[in-house]
A and B are shown apart, each in its own frame.
Chain A
Amino acid sequence: MDIVAIQLLNAVQYGLLLFLVASGLTLIFGIMGIINLAHGSFYMLGAYMAFTLSSLTGSLAVAMVLGVVLSVVIGLVLEWTLFSHLYKRDHLEQVLLTYGLILIFEELRSLIVGNDVHGVPVPALFGGSIALVDTMTYPVYRLVMSGVCLAIAAGMYVLIQRTRLGMTIRAGASNREMVGVLGVNVNLVFRIVFALGVALAAFAGMLAAPVSSVYPGMGQQVLIICFVVVVIGGIGSVWGALVASLLIGLVDTFGKVLVPEYAGVAVYLLMAAILLWRPEGLFRRG
Chain B
Amino acid sequence: MMRALVLPLGALALVALFPMSGATFYVELTTKIMIMAIFALSLDLLVGWTGLVSFGHAAYFGVGAYTLALLSPKVAAAGLWSSLALAIGVAALCALVVGVFVLRTRGIYFIMVTLAFAQMFYFVFHDTKIGGGSDGRYVNVKPDASIAGFTPFDLDKPVHVYYVVLVVLLLVFAFLQLLLRSPFGRALQGIRANEQRMRALGFPVTHYKLAAFTIAGALAGLAGYLLAAQSGFVNPELVSWHQSGNVLLMVILGGAGTPYGPIVGAFALTMLHELFSTLTRHWQLWLGISIVLIVLFMPGGLAHLMRRVRRGLFGGGRDG
Asked if B55 is at the interface (CB within 8 A of a chain A CB), the reply is: yes
Asked if B109 is at the interface (CB within 8 A of a chain A CB), the reply is: yes
Chain A, 255-286, CB within 8 A of any chain B CB: 260-265, 268-269, 271-272, 275-276, 279-281
Interface residues on A, range: 35 or more
In the complex formed, the residue of B with least CB distance to A33 is B108
Q: A230 touches which one: B112, B252, B282 (CB < 8 A)?
A: B112
Q: B105 touches which one: A103, A104, A275 (CB < 8 A)?
A: A275
B129 touches A261 (CB 8 A): yes
Which of B22-30, B161-169, B289-297, B306-314 is the contact stretch? B289-297
Asked if A200 is at the interface (CB within 8 A of a chain B CB), the reply is: no
Chain A residues within 8 Å of B126, by CB: 264
B127 touches A261 (CB 8 A): yes
A108 touches B285 (CB 8 A): yes
In the complex formed, the residue of B with least CB distance to A35 is B108
Asked if B284 is at the interface (CB within 8 A of a chain A CB), the reply is: yes
Q: Report the Cα distance A107→B284, complex, angstroms.
A: 6
Greatest chain B CB density within 10 A among A35, A92, A228, A231 is at A92
The number of residues on chain B lying at the interface, defined by a beta carbon within 8 Å of a beta carbon of chain A, is: 42
A93-B299, A95-B53 given; A279·B120 CB < 8 A: no
Q: B112 touches which one: A93, A108, A231, A265 (CB < 8 A)?
A: A231
Chain A, 48-104, CB within 8 A of any chain B CB: 85, 89, 91-93, 95-97, 99-104
Q: Report the Cα distance A100→B252, complex, angstroms.
A: 13
B residues near A (Cβ < 8 Å) are 47, 53, 55, 101-102, 104-105, 107-109, 111-113, 115-117, 119-120, 123-124, 126-129, 241, 245, 248-249, 252, 282, 284-285, 287-292, 294-296, 299
What are 17 residue pairs bridging A and B, where the CB atoms are less than 8 Å apart in the complex?
A29-B108, A95-B248, A100-B287, A100-B290, A104-B285, A104-B288, A224-B116, A224-B119, A227-B115, A260-B127, A268-B119, A271-B113, A272-B120, A275-B102, A276-B104, A279-B105, A281-B109
